[in-house]
A and B are shown apart, each in its own frame.
Chain A
Amino acid sequence: MTEQTLTILTWLIPAGPLLAFFLIILFTNRSRTLSWLLAWAGVFTALIIGWIVALGTLAIDAHHLEEHPTVVQSAIPWLPIGDFFEGTWLEIGIAVDPFTSVMLIMVTFTIAMIFIYSVGYHNWGSPLGKTLGVPNHLQEEPLLSRFFAFMSLFAGGMLLLVVAGDLLLLFIGWEIMGFCSYSLIGFWYARDYHLGPEDIPHISPRKAGIKAFLTTRIADVVMLLGIVFFYSVFGTLNFVEAFSAESLAHAAATVGAVTLGVIALLIFAGTVGKSAQWPLHVWLPDAMEGPTPVSAVIHAAAMVSAGVYLIIRIFPLIAVGMGPQGTPAVGIIIGGIGAFTALMAATIAVAQNDVKGVLAYSTISQLGFMVAAVGAGAYVAAAFHLITHGFFKALLFLASGSVIHGMEHGAHEVHDHHTDPQDMRFMGGLRKKMPVTFWTFLIGGLALSGFPLISAGFWSKDEIFAEAWSHWTHESDFLSLTVFVMLAVAAFLTAFYTMRQISLTFLGKPRTPLAEHAHESNGFMTIPLILLAVFAVGAGWFGISEGFPVLGGALNYNYFHHIVGATVFETLHELQGLHLVDYAIETLPFAVTPIGTSIFVALGGLFLGWWIYGRKPLKEGQTDPLVQPLGSLYTFLNNKWYWDELYQLLFIRPTVYISETVVNEYVDKGIIDGTLHLIARSVYRLGFYAKRFEEKVISDGVDWLKDLFLAIAKEFRYLQTGRVQEYVLISTLIATALIAVILLLNYGWLAQLF
């Protein structure tokens, strides 16, 4: 595989789904079948090309990769700034390194699986649904074309983000996904809920879409500031150029490592939004309003992963920011937010009754794991967990969708359309009714819990624990210890609520007629489950640490660690030499504590979950055994720590108030227009006085003058007697006088007078 071929192929990866989007929107909109076929074509093309590029990259020798991690790099000048030759046109382009490759493998595969699944999920082949904008249960989705169009656009956006070689293209993919997320969460735009007090609360899908978009937009605008700050300091947005050791050293010397840390934090804000970390986590649970494939792709495999992908991408910047010359605040903020989110979300998941709700909070929690790992400087661990999580979380979501479908089948058969098919309290015994779903869900659940050895989650979580522990023991990094402890507790809870979920859903006997009449989903849905399960089990084996007893020794090569670590190996090593970062990529020595902890929390949590929920599965009408003992704590957890209500009070209502009342009424209409109207009124008043002046002074003055002249004229009238002779007399007298004057003048007598 020549570099040139790889380059061209990489450019083509996002092209398939993007092209599919346009074709569906413009041409095949009317035909649902053609639309999903086109979507499949787009995604499978991306899958094939993506895997070719990825495997082509990963096949390169590890040492070679360490020196030249970026295998593909290509950029085109995009935005003109200044002179073409001397100026700095903003470029946009792609870059592929080992980390990109593993992302490509995971993303393309999971998205493809989800696309396959979606055709079955939306009941293609069944009678066509009639109502637009609401779920037409068990009938073919009438807006299927639109669904696949947005999904394709989303896939295109995600792939753009993954192959992006600079922050600009990454941001473009980022935002496109945000838009698709909004559109797909709100896919059932006309749906309204009419819920009772006992029901699980739901907001309408359209509100959920807006919530998602706006919450992440807060993060995005801060991230945008981070990006332009980045551009200002580095003069480029290109990853390879900016993150070379020389470039980072120069930047640290120019603006200081603390400033670099600030830039990293600003960009991290984007992750807080996109990966639903506290405090911007509130959109993700409500995003479950979207169809389940949407939840799977956007909120498990792809979009939320993009946030973690971002901070892993800018890891060198973060490392310098929290390094010796930077400030520990960077690590504390990132690690702290991650660990807190992981723990908080895990506690909430324990008390959720919606099958997708548990998974939503589980996602938030797992993302917290990854973010905390980055904060503790564990590059490889974070990347590893990102990849494995993508597989098993997508699996879990798709399986949950299958469960819901089964429940809906049951609902249809018993004609009960009021019971919430997503509420786990109404499930039970689905193990017998939906075996494939059960086994794949179990595998996914075990992976999520970190079940030792056979699940991918185990290896990746273990890696996080190992790195955190190593930083604590070797550098006495207190943050790492805190992260370790919090994540351990969160992992315990993870296993616990997962087992709770499995027990409530699948074990025991059906608690309602819906569950009683559920049956397995069609092939479109079950085959992707099986395929994903394979990865959920096997993906972790690529990252078995060398120090691991028996297996590690046997393989003696932590593939993931070396290959993905190669992405930043050289850079971090050099920066470590320059005393700009604390940790570089190194092989971790074996330590008992992290391994022991992982195994203990995983098995312990699973056991406790089974003990409470699985041993004597819930019966019909029986309340959750945790409600009583936990009391108000349960209510607190069930209501998600009341963050939504707090935000409503602190932010949403004031904003609406400021918009509708303060700005519109008081400022614009009141002050500004008020001033204008005041000016206008005073001008009118001025005109009124001018008119009065005109009437009184000018008109009347002229009238008085006229009267004066008339009076004078009246006097002169008496001269006119009407008698001719008197006229002649007067004229004669005047003539005589004139003649006399002229004569006298001529003779000079009067001349002396004049």
Chain B
Amino acid sequence: MEFVQDNILNLVIFFPLLASFVLMLLPGDAKNTVRRLALVFSLVPLLLVIFMWLNYDRFDAGMQFEYRHEWLPLLGSSFHVGVDGISLTMLLLTTILTPLAILASFGIEERVNIYMALFLLMETAMLGLFASLDLMIFFIFWEFGLIPMYFLIKIWGGKDRDYASFKFIVYTMAGSLGLLLAIQLIGLSTGTFDIIQLMDTWVNLPAGGVLPNTSLSVDTVKTLAFWAFFVAFAIKIPIWPFHTWLPDAHTQAPTAGSMILAGVLLKLGAYGFLRLVIPLFPEHAYLTAGILATLGMLSVVLGGYAAFGQWDFKRLVAYSSVNHMGFVVLGLAVFAFVYGRADQFVDPKVTNDAITAANGAVFQMFNHGLSAAGMFFLVGVIYERTHTRDLKLYGGIWSVLQVYGGILIFTSMASLGLPGLNGFVSEFLVVAGSWDIFTVQLALSMLGLFLTGAYILKAIGQTLHGPIKEEWRGLPHMTIREHLVIWPLMILMLTLGIWPQWVLVYINDTVTRILA
């Protein structure tokens, strides 16, 4: 027990890795065993994270469940992991979605053991990234997460999977290049890669001086490093205009792949902003907050327009992710604006706005993870039955699949931000926090919010409504397994919409402390 408590974060991170090895060694044709085993394995990190959640101390100001082990002392890098309210929320999201994604993948028939192993590998990467407190470790997990996704799309994906997987990996990696360079510069000049230390050391480097251990000017390096970080994470979120990899990747990925991609991987980018970009480069964050807000607004609006113009259901949902993450970006922009000048603003109202907006942004990350995963899953359900994603070919399915229709409407409404469900709470918080600071961008984003309604209703209308088409008359109902995937998500969406506090307090505590 001692061991578990001391090393809980390591267990959480690396258990899926070990599990994936076990799965890879299993014979390829023992499909059911592999599936069930994978499901059981994926539940272990969930239980551990729930344990962490219940034992999280809200009044502890620093990182919790910390673990540190020297790794490359000469470089200043150690294996340092720990969580605060924000990371713990993300860990919870990841560990909830992975078992559901695995459960959703029971229909895969080819190379099941490799498939499941890849999912668990990805889980390790995602969990490790959210928990990492060292830049090298962060980067390793960051890159590590790309490979399984690439293979998942490439091998089990749709028609254009080669193009989509290639675009995904090369685009993201291109962003990571700058990230790696910047990380190396930071580590080399300050002598450490530890994020906690860097928030002090790196930030407090004298502004006009020379970077230690190098002959470069601090200002130039910081600006370059900032933009390198910015671009890398902007590609991941994705912020307009770096978003075009997303529709292809999401559409071509297998259902569960899209669930994880939209549910968790996009949040890695936003998390990178919160954890690294803004705290390590406060002045730059403050100066570019307006740009970030504008880009967020463009994501909301143009993502909305793009989604509305789609006739491929999955691609529509993919663009809805751009649309929703735009709100996260807007909240991040407010956070950046205030954090960057925290010492200069005495006005508590503005700090309050930042807390509101940041709460909203992180909560939106969590909520969107749930609703996007749900939507992609539901698209997968109908695709498995009809073998098409063309909205024009759907129609009248509500008359055949009544329960599915109800579930689709419910999940869509969560995605749309209907009050009573979780999406509204986070969107409201972001809107409330952004009004004072980015009024214009917020006002323009409302167009995007309107379009959200338009495309959601388009999707529902095309799929469920209308006279029933002969070819869909005999579609099979949802199976118990499929219900088991979507109901936890729906219950979470409802409870978080009515009583969001149990997640929001953790986020709020951390955010308040950061901005205080």
Residues on A close to B: CB < 8 A? 25, 78-83, 87-88, 90, 132-134, 168, 171-172, 175-176, 179, 182-183, 186, 189-192, 206, 209-210, 213-214, 217-218, 221-222, 224-225, 228-229, 231-232, 235, 655-656, 658-664, 667-668, 672-673, 676, 680
Contacts and interface: CB of A to CB of B under 8 A. Distances in A.
Contacts of A673: 244
Contact of B442 (A79, A209, A217, A225): A225
A656 B447 CA distance: 14
Contact of A179 (B244, B310, B418): B418
B399 A133 contact: yes
A206 B449 CA distance: 21
B241 A672 contact: yes
A162 to B, nearest CB: 16
A222 B446 contact: yes
A176 B167 contact: no
Given A175-B419, A175-B424, A186-B465, A214 B352 contact: no
B301 to A, nearest CB: 9
B158 interface: no
Interface string B488-516: 00000000000011001101100010000
Interface stretch (B12-20, B378-386, B450-458): B450-458
Contact of B413 (A78, A179, A206): A179
Q: Tell me whether chain A's interface is mostly helix, strand or loop, or mixed.
A: helix
A213 B244 contact: no
Interface of B: 167, 170-171, 241, 243-244, 247, 302, 305-310, 349, 351-353, 355-356, 359, 396, 398-399, 402, 406, 409, 413, 418-420, 424-425, 428-429, 431-432, 435-436, 442-443, 446-447, 449-451, 453-454, 457-458, 461, 464-468, 500-501, 504-505, 507-508, 512
A176 B450 contact: no
B446 A214 contact: no
Nearest to B446: A221
A663 B418 contact: no
A68 to B, nearest CB: 30
Nearest to A680: B170
A206 B465 contact: yes
Contact of A663 (B305, B356, B402, B512): B305
Given A80-B504, A214-B450, A225-B443, 5 more contacts: A81-B508, A82-B352, A132-B399, A213-B457, A668-B247
B171 A676 contact: yes
A168 B420 CA distance: 11
A81 B359 contact: yes
A656 B399 contact: no
6 contacts: A80-B507, A134-B467, A175-B419, A189-B466, A659-B451, A668-B306
A332 to B, nearest CB: 23
B210 to A, nearest CB: 34
A81 B352 contact: yes
* Chain A CB within 10 A, most for which of B398, B409, B420: B420
B501 A25 contact: no
Given A88-B352, A663-B309, A676-B167, A224 B425 contact: no
Nearest to B447: A221
A175 B355 contact: no
A225 B355 contact: no
Given A190-B466, A659-B306, A82 B244 contact: no
A191 B466 CA distance: 7
B435 A229 contact: yes
A221 B450 contact: yes
Nearest to A149: B406
Contact of A218 (B396, B443, B450, B457): B450
Contacts of B442: 225, 228
B501 A80 contact: yes
Contacts of B409: 183
A228 B432 contact: yes
Contacts of B305: 655, 658-659, 662-664
Nearest to B403: A29
B473 to A, nearest CB: 12
A175 B431 contact: no
Nearest to B170: A680
Nearest to B240: A672
Contact of B396 (A133, A214, A659): A133
A171 B419 contact: yes
Contacts of B436: 232
Nearest to A217: B453
A82 B356 CA distance: 8
B302 A663 contact: yes
B450 A217 contact: yes
A83 B468 CA distance: 54
Nearest to A192: B467
A229 to B, nearest CB: 6
Given A132-B398, A664-B310, A231 B352 contact: no
Contacts of B451: 659
Nearest to B406: A25
Contacts of A663: 302, 305-306, 309
Contacts of A680: 170
Nearest to B505: A80
A214 B167 contact: no
Nearest to A671: B241
B398 A79 contact: no
A78 B356 CA distance: 13
Contact of B308 (A175, A225, A659): A659
Contact of B418 (A87, A175, A218): A175
Contact of B352 (A87, A175, A192, A664): A87
Nearest to A219: B450
A221 B356 CA distance: 19
A186 B396 CA distance: 13
B167 A79 contact: no
B501 A190 contact: no
A229 B465 CA distance: 38
A37 B308 CA distance: 40
A661 B406 CA distance: 32
Contacts of B457: 182, 209-210, 213-214
B279 to A, nearest CB: 19
Contacts of B508: 80-82
* Chain A CB within 10 A, most for which of B167, B306, B464: B306
A87 B453 contact: no
Given A82-B508, A190-B468, A206-B465, A656 B309 contact: yes
A80 B467 CA distance: 46
A336 B175 CA distance: 55
Contacts of A192: 466-467
A664 B306 contact: yes
Contacts of A232: 349, 353, 432, 435-436
B420 A172 contact: yes
A178 B432 CA distance: 21
Contact of A79 (B170, B429, B468): B429
Contacts of A214: 450, 453-454, 457
Contact of A228 (B435, B468, B505): B435
A206 B466 contact: yes
* Chain B CB within 10 A, most for which of A80, A134, A179: A80
Nearest to A183: B409
Contacts of B244: 668, 672-673, 676
Contact of B512 (A83, A168, A209): A83
B419 A213 contact: no
* Chain A CB within 10 A, most for which of B352, B435, B458: B435
Given A88-B352, A172-B419, A182-B457, A655 B308 contact: yes
A225 B428 CA distance: 10
Contacts of B241: 672
Nearest to A132: B399
B349 to A, nearest CB: 8
Given A210-B461, A228-B435, A676-B171, A176 B467 contact: no
B399 A190 contact: yes
Contacts of A658: 305, 309
Contacts of B507: 80
